[in-house]
């Protein structure tokens, strides 16, 4: 998955626009502005609950085209936050997508990148259309230290997984083999235990499972930052609570695609194990000293959006729509986002808070989660 998706020269995400109707899949922010607006309202509410600490940054992991961040910044701009208090940090490894994000989010695009300081942890910087500084980073560990509002939408599902099967000899890993006779790829089972097998719990009842060590490392990095510097995290993705088995698949032209056929031409994905993310977010590494963070959720997308007022927002937009076609599109988008048979139940929301907010959250629970 890592090689197919992020190879510097041929990776799926590295060289093309894969989103929208003309791409291989479409995301919630691309469907309607309502999604990003409600996420922004949630972030502002929780930031206010924390006492409006300044300066602060909005961090998005895997920003895609920048559509979600564009909607978030538009809503934040209505609250007249000083441009010196708010910064934007994007974690993005794709040169192509970072250019698309810059086109959407910034006043101007720099075709000739200016020389950065030698000690810079970012690889690109600019100014958003609202006047706030924006920078691009390769890794969460490179982010500046400040109060952070983390957003991760359809990010963890693209991180590589290990597939494990319990055989008569114990846990074995599913590997990818190469057939030299016809130059095709195929699945095969490891002869011995691999390091990935160490992730299996002793009381695991499933006969097959997928583990994503990189996901656990990243969510722990987020949790560490939230504990040490203050912040909140919101993870939105399709996934499960540690009960699914085989979810690894490919998507091409909005249809299922064999992951081993024409690698690099289709998206590869696996459902997010939210139970594993919550465990990692509340268990510091052995070399770290921080109190277990708090998690809320998961809740289904339809429940989160409904509790946040998507029905009210739809009526507002319908009241100002200029044509019947616009009204139909708004209703269709609302249906796609909230219908259980479409995106409403497939996508889940998970919130992450520092432990020091426990008493506050008991009195003022996170909106959208109850």
Average pLDDT of adjacent 10-residue blocks, the chain of 370 residues: 88 70 70 96 97 96 96 94 92 93 86 73 94 96 96 96 94 94 94 91 89 95 93 97 94 89 91 96 75 89 98 96 92 96 96 95 95
The contacts of residue 218 (CB under 8 Å, 6+ apart) are 61, 140, 156, 159
pLDDT at 217: 94
- Residues 354 and 332: their CA atoms lie apart, in Å, by 37
Outline where 50-166 has alpha helix (H).
67-77, 95-105
pLDDT at 345: 95
pLDDT at 80: 83
Where do the structural domains in the chain lie, given as residue ranges? 2-160+212-363, 164-199
Handedness of CA 114, 119, 123, 126 (dihedral sign): negative
Tell me the fold of 2-160+212-363.
Rossmann fold (3.40.50)
Outline where 151-252 has alpha helix (H).
213-229
Query: First vs last Cα of the chain: how many Å apart?
Result: 36
pLDDT at 27: 87
- Residues 48 and 42: their CA atoms lie apart, in Å, by 10
This prediction has a pTM of: 0.92
* ∠ CA 100-102-104, rounded to 5°: 70
- Residues 344 and 336: their CA atoms lie apart, in Å, by 7
- Residues 35 and 40: their CA atoms lie apart, in Å, by 9
Which residues lie across from 134 on neighbouring strands? 88, 126
Run of H or E residues at 304? helix 301-307
- Cis peptide preceding 298, ω within 30 of 0: yes
* ∠ CA 290-370-232, rounded to 5°: 30
CB atoms within 10 A of CB 123: 16
């Amino acid at each position: 998955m890592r090689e197919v998706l992020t190879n510097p020269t041929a990776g799926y995400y590295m060289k093309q626009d894969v989103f929208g109707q003309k791409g291989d899949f479409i995301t919630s922010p691309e469907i309607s502005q309502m999604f990003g607006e409600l996420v922004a309202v949630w972030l502002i509410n929780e930031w206010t609950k924390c006492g409006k600490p300044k300066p602060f940054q909005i961090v998005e992991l895997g920003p895609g085209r920048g559509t979600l961040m564009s909607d978030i910044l538009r809503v934040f701009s209505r609250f007249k936050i000083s441009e010196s208090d708010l910064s934007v940090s994007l974690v993005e490894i794709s040169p192509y997508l970072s250019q698309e994000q810059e086109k959407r989010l910034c006043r101007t695009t720099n075709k000739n990148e200016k020389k950065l300081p030698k000690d810079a942890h970012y690889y690109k910087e600019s100014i958003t259309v609202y006047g706030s500084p924006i920078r691009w980073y390769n890794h969460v560990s490179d982010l500046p230290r400040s109060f952070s509002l983390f957003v991760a939408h359809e990010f963890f599902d693209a991180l590589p997984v290990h597939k494990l099967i319990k055989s008569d000899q114990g846990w074995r890993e599913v590997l990818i083999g190469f057939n030299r006779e016809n130059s095709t790829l195929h699945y095969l089972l490891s002869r011995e235990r691999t390091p990935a097998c160490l992730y299996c719990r002793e009381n695991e009842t499933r006969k097959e499972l997928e583990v994503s060590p990189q996901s656990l490392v990243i969510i722990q990095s987020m949790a560490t930052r939230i504990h040490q510097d203050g912040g909140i995290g919101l993870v939105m993705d399709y996934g499960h609570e540690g009960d699914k088995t085989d979810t690894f698949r490919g998507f091409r032209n909005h249809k299922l695609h064999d992951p081993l056929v024409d690698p690099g031409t289709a998206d590869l994905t696996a459902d997010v194990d939210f139970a594993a993310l919550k465990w990692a977010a509340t268990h510091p590494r052995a070399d770290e000293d921080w109190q277990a963070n708090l998690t809320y959720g998961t809740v289904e997308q339809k429940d989160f959006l409904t509790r946040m007022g998507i029905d009210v927002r739809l009526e507002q937009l319908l009241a100002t729509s200029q044509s019947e076609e616009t009204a139909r599109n708004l209703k269709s988008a609302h249906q796609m986002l909230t219908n259980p048979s479409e995106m409403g139940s497939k996508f889940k929301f998970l919130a992450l808070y520092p432990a020091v907010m426990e008493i506050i959250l008991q009195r003022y629970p996170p909106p959208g989660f109850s």
